[in-house]
A and B are shown apart, each in its own frame.
Chain A
Amino acid sequence: MKARLLALISILLGCEAAPPSEEAWVLMDQPLFPFELEEGSIPFQHDSGSRGLRHIGESVGSGGALFDVDGDGYLDLYLVQGAADDDVPNAGIPKPNQLFRGTAEGFVLHKGFSGYGDTGDGMGCAAGDFDQDGDQDLYITNDGPDRLLINDGKGRFTDETEARGIDQPRFGSVVTTVDIDLDGDLDLFVGHYLEFSKEDFEPCMRDELEVYCAPKNYPGVPCSLLINDGRGYFSDLSEEAGLNAFPSKALGVLTTDFDQDGDTDLYVANDGEANFLLLNLFKETGEVRFSEDALLAGCALGEGAKEEAGMGVAGVDLDEDGDEEILVTNFEAQSNSCYRNDGAGMFLETSFFNGMASPSLAWVGFGIRDMDVNHDTIPDIFVTNGHVIDNIGEVSQGQLQFAQPDQIYLGSANGFSVIEPHAEAPWKSGRAAISGDIDNDGDLDLIVTCWNDSPRILRSTAMGSAGAPVFGLELVGDGQRCSKDAVGAIITVESMGQTRTREHRIQSSYLASHDPRQLFALKRQAYSANVTIRWPDGTLSPTIQVKPGAYHRIEWGKGVTRVTPFSNPKP
């Protein structure tokens, strides 16, 4: 059976594949999606800030980050907390964002960490070495002023928002790190959701029931581009970059070099509006400037030309042609989108053709993460779902649910088939899907944040069960030609006739900042892989042969500087 499966998947058709045949369904009906669900192991309860007023911002939070705060080799977990408006009578004391230390035993609060507990009405965050001192700092988006927290390397943070030039008081949603001007540091692209005024608020009704209003009731707000001076001090170049011409309702942002001209472009998923493809003109003009091209490029709208409720985004090369497709999660009755990248700035929405669309129509998708769940070298997609209207059950007379299942779109040569990874567990209303190898065993685990609920861990047991060789990469830039975090580097992996390409980014999904390390499974017979890195400055690293079973730290200009074996997988 396994041989047949390998034969079946040896040709990857990706986005344009036909839906699964009956045979494929049978083959896929195997325990190749090994996640253990851990409920209640993270002592955190999300507070959306909802106190019965149904202000729209309450319904869409919140996210978090997986990153190694103190350099001890374990991923720590930062979770963003919502908050009620302070003039609401039953607001209560706002709860701070939380930072949990990653240990072999799990995530725990740690007295040595400090300064992280922002109490704003939080949405998302991005971890990155903004001041290039070798540790990970934090940018937090709020429905209100954003915060920039600088790390001292031991998890003691200092709020340096104003001191470092950050003045972003609008409704921040997604934030992503990107080196827009190719100067070797991390700039910030901040998505804004919409303009909401408590004073002008009028409740929305559906059949005499008060519901959260749709985003179309509010005007959009342009995104912001904050340019780093190399030392972690920022200037707002939104106007110069032309962003103010594009009011957005941004919830998801994807960074990648869509037109393959050597600089990083941006894709913005808007809620209820056409999405943006912001092509970076830096390489051509030497100026920080964008042109918006989504409609002509074919990635502005969903199937049926709907202005969809874009939430989470992911980028992955499904068809192994060297460029990345754009995946977007959307509202119910709108399929999750797969925009196949045909090169030359052309995309084609293919979700109905690869099996992604139909299974997504019933759900409201939020976090989305491309990952090789079953280590078969074919990309799979994890999606967490959850409605935004808390009383949707009542409104729809029981036909729709607020809590919804997580889904795995299992990739094969014939497209995607869908399974629920923990069908027996109670549903929750999922938001962010944050990925990382939390136990350092060589497979990708997930933290799923849930609205007004506790987060879940989906701990992968792929290393213990799939039996495929896996290696990991940790990319480090020199901080001059390439940011320390090396975002924008292109990784090419060749092994046994298969070539895969992946752009190194840290933020994607929905309000999520992932483990910056990269994992690649290889075919079962493989003993090694050839890895080439094209750094953001265009420098091509010499091909490096890596062996499975370890993380390989590759530094700009130095090659492999450290090999850290995976820890033993759980039995």
Chain B
Amino acid sequence: MSTLEQAFSNGDYHTALKIGRTLLAQDPNDLQTLLMCGASCIELARGLTDRGANIGAHKEALTYFERLVRLDPNHGQSRVHQSLARCHLVLASHVKALGHAKLAVQLDSASAMAQRLLGESWQQNGNPSNALIAFKAAHQLEPGSADYLEAVQDQLHKMRRFGESLQYIEKHRGKVLSDPKNQSTLHWCLHVAWLSLNKVHRAHEAIIKAHDLTPDEPRLLSSLAVSYYRVGDFEKSENWCDQTLAHRGTPPRARAVAQRTKGQILMHQNQYAKAKPLLESALTVLEGDGTTMLALISTLRRLGETEQAKAVANQYRKSVEKKSP
């Protein structure tokens, strides 16, 4: 096994990419190196929270895969087209993404990932019905994967078919693999489904179960905080806000949601001075978020900072105008 392959299989994508770039400088037409470099870029991108960096990684991946296809148009690998579809999806080249996703499915109709990418491509091309067909096909191919179940749910929710979403989950939940990760994702899906049907207590039960199964999953922490807020248990909500903020793996958006929720709780405890910095910080990430802005307006007014409150109100009005068609 080459050092490039070794680094890749060890999950050290940074080293793999470094080696691959050096190898390509010597032999820019080596197909295997192009493939490994492209794959390394995509894997690296998964861990990037910065949007600009993420796009950059996909742009680089695209150059490797496109070169590979130019050099070997008859490669016949579904995975290459899947990667190209993924790059185009990230770069918002909708039509190209769809073309590659279709080819990926043609080359390997049994690939759930190819079907999923086809679904995402249809979604980006404004065809929700075809997207749903593809997502369902992906899920049918791998019914044990709760990720594919979640993709179907996402699409149904985008189509506002909330009742159908819950029915679909209930129908297929028995086939989901029993490991904690898949079961946690299943309960996350149930949480989202019940929430969409306004059954906040059922939704709350589901997210607690999801968290019990994967206590280290960071996306659940801020959602737990919000869920406790929703059912009126503000002590626990605040506690989960604190845990979210303390967790090193919390993504910036989830962190901001926790700051906002904690800020709201403090507001209702008349602790406006403590609420203010949390809300201001949340707003830097949740740009244009109405809930945060309204909470901040109320807080500033009660702190006697009326002019600042007016400024935030104007900011809110502008953000609403911007969103209006």
* Chain A interface residues toward B at CB < 8 A: 16, 18-19, 206-207, 295-296, 298, 301, 303-306, 332-333, 342, 346, 348-350, 352-353, 355, 357-358, 361-362, 396-400
Contacts and interface: CB of A to CB of B under 8 A. Distances in A.
B200 A361 contact: yes
B160 A206 contact: yes
**Chain B interface SS verdict (over half):** helix
B52 interface: no
B298 to A, nearest CB: 5
B110 interface: no
Contacts of B200: 358, 361
Interface string B294-312: 1001100110000001100
B10 interface: no
Contact of A352 (B196, B230, B316, B317): B230
B199 A362 contact: yes
Interface of B: 159-164, 166-167, 196-201, 229-234, 267-268, 289-291, 293-294, 297-298, 301-302, 309-310, 313, 316-317
11 contacts: A296-B313, A301-B294, A304-B290, A305-B316, A333-B196, A349-B294, A350-B268, A358-B230, A358-B232, A362-B197, A397-B161
B230 A296 contact: no
A352 B291 CA distance: 14
A296 B268 contact: no
A303 B160 CA distance: 21
Contacts of A296: 297, 301, 309-310, 313
A310 B301 CA distance: 25
A26 B240 CA distance: 28
A16 B265 CA distance: 11
A346 B302 contact: yes
What are the nearest 7 A-B pairs in CB distance? A305-B290, A399-B163, A397-B163, A19-B232, A361-B198, A362-B198, A396-B163
Contacts of A349: 294
Nearest to B295: A305
A361 B166 CA distance: 18
A350 B268 CA distance: 8
A117 B129 CA distance: 51
A567 to B, nearest CB: 41
Contacts of B198: 332-333, 361-362
Given A349-B294, A352-B232, 14 more contacts: A207-B161, A295-B297, A296-B301, A298-B294, A298-B297, A305-B289, A306-B290, A346-B301, A346-B302, A355-B232, A358-B200, A358-B201, A358-B232, A399-B197
A425 B5 CA distance: 71
B290 A352 contact: no
A396 B290 contact: no
Nearest to B200: A358
A348 B267 contact: yes
Contacts of A306: 290
A355 B231 CA distance: 9
Nearest to A393: B163
